[in-house]
Amino acid sequence: MSAMLTKIIAHLEDLALQVESARLRRSKVMQHQAYQPILPCANKYLQYRWDKNCYDMHRDKVKSAKPTINATSPKTYDHLLVKLKKQQLEEERVSRIKRENHMLLDKMSHIMQTVGGVDSKNDYVKKSLNRDKRQLELLQITKENQRILQRLSSCRPHYSIQVWHEQWFKNLELIDSIGRYPRLYSSQGSSLPPILAVRHGTVHSNRVNNQKTARNAHEEPAGIRNEVAQQNERECDEKTKYEDNVASEDEA
């Protein structure tokens, strides 16, 4: 049953092929009738065959045409890819290193098995060729510094504070002699302020206070003026005592 079905299917396939080939032959025979040539012709079938032949020749030429520019990859050479000289040099270098390592290993093993020929102990003491000279220079510099220090400590001052103090009192006497109003300072029976008062800026303030007191003397009564003058004298005495103590401490 299956063999019969196979034969029937094969017979049907043959028939289909025959029908298809007949259709193709018919289409090829009738194909020239649908062809429209570019130029007018007497026979469409011959013109169709000629044009088709020319087109086939053109396609064969296109397929067999070679490019004008060679775009293919260049030819590779084995001696450029595999550099034998470089491999040889590398092998020689590796063999030399191995030989040196082997020699070094033999030497180290020999040293470990026997006593070394060179003593590694070092008892050298550091020495300097100019040590004595530098010590002498340092000693000389130290002596010079001591002499300079001794001269500075034993040197007496060129200026005298007592002379300055006397000059200051003379200047104050001249100031009082040309002044318009009398001063109210009193220090140890003298109407002159001490020199340290000027250093601390008290003379100027006392002078201003005295000027204000003298300016207001004509406006205030006599009792008030006496009280103000006594108060100023007490303040001046306290300041002068404090400044005398400071001056004595400085001189000491």
Highest mean pLDDT among 9-18, 149-158, 163-172, 233-242 belongs to 163-172
CB 165 within 8 A of CB 214: no
Token match 């008062």: residue?
A: 197
* Half-sphere CA count of 206, side-chain side, radius 13 A: 26
pLDDT digits (tens, 9 = 90+) for 185-218: 544 444 444 444 444 444 444 554 555 454 444 4
CA distance 165 to 86: 103
Name the burial class of residue 32, with classes exposed (0-12), middle (13-18) and buried (19+) by CB atoms within 10 angstroms of its CB: middle
Segment (H or E) for 108: helix 84-113
pLDDT digits (tens, 9 = 90+) for 5-48: 787 787 778 777 777 777 666 666 556 567 788 888 888 888 88
